[in-house]
A and B are shown apart, each in its own frame.
Chain A
Amino acid sequence: MTTTTRNRKLSPDELDSFGRELDEVRARAVAQLGQRDADYIRRIVAAVRWTGLGGRLALMIGAIGGAFVSGLLIPAWIVGVLLLALSKILENMELGHNVMHGQYDWMRDPHLDGKTYEWDIVATGDNWRKTHNYQHHTWTNVRGMDDDIGYGLLRLFPEQRWRPFYLFQPIVAVIFAVLFEWGVAIQDLRLGRWWYGKISNAQMRKNFRPVGRKMARQLIKDYLFFPLLAGPFFLPVLLGNIVANVLRNLWTYTVIFCGHFTADAETFAKESVKNESRGHWYLRQLRGSSNLTGGRLMDLMTGNLSHQIEHHFFPDIPAHRYAAMAVDVRAICARYGQHYNTGSLPRQFGQVVWRILRHALPSRPPVKRARLARSSA
């Protein structure tokens, strides 16, 4: 783990007490779990269902009614798309992502069970529980272990080896953003390893079966079933569903990239996680994550990933509690001289875009640069 000027180096004792204080923040939140959290997640469920219904109805009214009443199509279509996108964003972020972390398992509600929840995107819940809950959250920003660093597609850190393919990165990044849910869906298939013959065709067919089923289901639902309900006026509904899915993809991509790829976010070498202590684990989560400022609306629309740091510290605590927990977390970080990486969405995303553009070209880690400068002096 590199120590920048923004972060004080902690002694082993300090690391222990740093971890202990954060464990206490967690224990206080666990002790408070109750009706308020159950009511909150049920309100989110209701919001997802009602905005989903409203969006689909508005699209239907726009498509069918618009054929007979001029001037109805466009406004109803826009309202429909926005409501449907809102529903999908809430389902994806605040409901699906958080429930699958097991944040509401303590309620013992079979509909909110983290192990069986299936969300409304083309990626299967089972794949996500593996790539995200396990790989990403355990090995956050560890190079070679956390596939979320560039998703095997992008070069975001100078420590990643440069290849000529990365020159196309600005375009690849935009395509990836538009098709983000498809990227998530195939992440666990590791197509690259299959391409290079490290995964057999038979194994790949087996791995693909559940993914293909989920993809087909989502395609038929959004691009066949609901459009066909509008009969001959299916085209606006089809387009509306496509646009809603793309809007959701762009937004989730933006939020997720801001979580780990801002200017101060660090990556770590594999050696650094050997025999990692609790305090050290917290420290790595802190230095690899970054937050977004923006208040309650931002928290809601990002599924509280605006509190990425708190989410990585406490992935199984109901996410709507992060904002309150962040007060304590920030104070602890300040006391231990650790930089708490947060900023507005434009600022954080600007840094992400800069990383995408900058590291499309060859670049060297700052440490190596410094060493080179010294040796040439």
Chain B
Amino acid sequence: MSARPRPASTRLPARSDSPFRRLARPWLSPRVFDFWASRLHPTWSWERPLARIVERRAESADAVTLVLRPNRHWHGCRPGQHLNVSAEIDGCRVTRSYSPTGLPGRDRRVAITVKAVDGGKLSRHLCERAKVGDVLDLGPAFGDMQLDENAAAPRLFLAAGSGITPLIALTRALAARGMPAPLSLLYWARKREQLCFVDELRSYAAAHPRFQLRFLLTGEAADAADEGQGRIDAAQLATIADLADREVYACGPGGFVDEARALLAARTVSFQAEAFSPPPRTQEDLDGTVEITLAASARTVTVARGQSLLGALEAQGLKLASGCRMGICNTCACGKRSGSTRHLHTGDAQHEPVSALRLCVNSATSDLVLDL
């Protein structure tokens, strides 16, 4: 239930083809196929991974779990990974990344848990308006936070807020295997009603003596035996047995992850962390430089902020397709995977990944990842 960096492209994924599709491709336009296929079934498509919402349930006071049934173009996901989810909001596809909380088994269903973020476009849409039967676009799975399959090492999971989503998936995977090694989960939230998966986690704690569970509240008093109080600190971590032998997985807001790293990184066997991206900067200065990652050519260049991206990239020696250089012909447009840009004529800021960013009339206001 997080909004984080979105490395995947908004374009169709390139994949290997079946012989039938290779044969049919020159004659059958995916556009035409998808139009007719979607009349027959909402998630049938030539190559787009799509998923239908088949169930929704409240997970906490401000989070819902959506169970999705993807079509055959989606290739699954391992516990702890993320995937891009897109929905059309007011005519425009909005993409955010979520870590599946329920993973595909025999029934090929995948669940995401979404917390309604203040001012969040997609999270508000999914929490408040998305209904059973709606179709969402799915991206391929990505992310490195995965269990080391062979190690029977004891583990420590630190989750704050939405950071529970990859960790619940990992916890479930371990519970399904009977908790092969000691596992401690510390899970922070402001208020009790914002905690997700409480009953499920308590049932694991009751069933597996090697699973130690602690809910930590920062905005109200602790009540139950497995509850504590206060932000992450050394005293809380001191309650964990064999801390130095643990593999640590931390997930939550940037400040939380930084704090966990400072407290633990040097004291444990390993430390893996994922932090939510900070909200896009809206107050940018025109001076200074930004880093532009060219995803297709695996290069990174540094360009000045506030000048046309086309000119700035050309000054770095790149040869780019361009035409009118005034924003009308669309020749220099390319996909932007992440980062913020500003339109030089209108001053409009754009923080979303877009499929067609006109380089000649936009400037970078943050680091960018472009499909170049």
Contacts and interface: CB of A to CB of B under 8 A. Distances in A.
A114 B353 CA distance: 16
Contacts of A225: 27
A316 B330 contact: yes
A217 B24 CA distance: 12
Given A105-B333, A114-B333, A49 B32 contact: yes
B31 A109 contact: no
A113 B10 CA distance: 11
B324 A137 contact: yes
Nearest to B35: A49
Interface residues of B, number: 39
Contacts of A130: 323, 331
Contacts of B10: 108, 110
Contacts of B326: 138, 281
Interface in A99-143: 100-102, 105-111, 113-116, 118, 129-130, 133-134, 137-138
B330 A115 contact: yes
B91 A315 contact: no
A115 B333 contact: yes
- Interface of chain B, helix or strand or loop or mixed? loop
Contacts of B92: 34, 38, 106-108
Given A110-B12, A115-B330, A138-B328, A35 B323 contact: no
A36 interface: yes
Contacts of B328: 133, 137-138, 315-316
Contacts of B345: 23
B355 A110 contact: yes
A51 B324 CA distance: 36
Interface in A1-54: 23, 27, 30, 33-39, 45-46, 49
Interface in B329-359: 329-331, 333-334, 345-346, 348, 352-356, 358
A161 interface: no
B331 A110 contact: no
A107 B94 CA distance: 9
A190 interface: no
A129 B330 CA distance: 8
Contacts of B352: 108
B201 to A, nearest CB: 37
B330 A102 contact: yes
Nearest to B34: A111
A221 interface: yes
Nearest to B334: A115
A181 B35 CA distance: 25
Given A49-B35, A49-B36, A217-B27, A39 B91 contact: yes
Given A108-B10, A108-B92, A115-B330, A134 B324 contact: yes
B329 A108 contact: no
A137 B331 CA distance: 12
- Interface residues of chain A: helix, strand, loop or mixed (majority): helix
Nearest to A213: B26
Contacts of A114: 330, 333, 356
Interface in A213-243: 217, 220-221, 225
Contacts of A113: 11, 355-356
A107 B91 contact: yes
Given A34-B91, A107-B91, A138-B323, A221 B11 contact: no
B37 to A, nearest CB: 12
A109 B92 CA distance: 8
A33 B89 CA distance: 12
A221 B12 CA distance: 25
B355 A105 contact: yes
Q: Which of B31, B330, B331 has the most chain A CB within a 10 Å cutoff?
A: B330
Residue in B32, B36, B90, B92 with the greatest tally of chain A CB atoms within 10 Å: B92
Contact of A110 (B27, B48, B353): B48
A138 B34 CA distance: 34
Given A33-B91, A115-B356, A221-B27, A45 B333 contact: no
Interface in B99-133: none
B88 interface: yes
Contact of A35 (B12, B86, B91, B356): B91
Contacts of A118: 29
B333 A37 contact: no
Given A110-B11, A115-B356, A45 B27 contact: no
Nearest to B354: A108
Contacts of A38: 88, 90-92
Find the residue from A27, A33, A34, A102 having the highest chain B CB count within 10 A.
A102
B85 to A, nearest CB: 14
B93 interface: yes
B93 A133 contact: no
Interface in A77-93: none
Interface in B116-153: none
Nearest to B30: A111
Interface string A277-291: 000010000000000
Contacts of B354: 105-106, 108
Contacts of B358: 102
Contacts of B331: 129-130, 133-134
Contacts of B346: 27, 30
Contact of A134 (B88, B91, B95, B323): B323
Contacts of B95: 108
A108 B93 contact: yes
Interface in A299-321: 315-316
A153 to B, nearest CB: 23
A102 B323 CA distance: 14
Contacts of A220: 27
A39 B324 CA distance: 30
A217 B25 CA distance: 11
Given A109-B88, A110-B12, A111-B34, 13 more contacts: A27-B346, A33-B91, A34-B92, A49-B36, A102-B333, A105-B354, A108-B352, A133-B329, A134-B323, A138-B329, A217-B27, A220-B27, A281-B326
25 contacts: A27-B346, A30-B346, A35-B90, A38-B90, A102-B356, A102-B358, A105-B330, A107-B91, A107-B92, A108-B352, A108-B354, A108-B355, A109-B88, A111-B30, A114-B330, A118-B29, A129-B330, A134-B331, A137-B324, A138-B323, A220-B27, A225-B27, A315-B328, A315-B329, A316-B327
Top 8 closest pairs, chain A to chain B, by CB: A38-B91, A134-B323, A105-B356, A102-B330, A108-B93, A138-B324, A134-B329, A133-B329
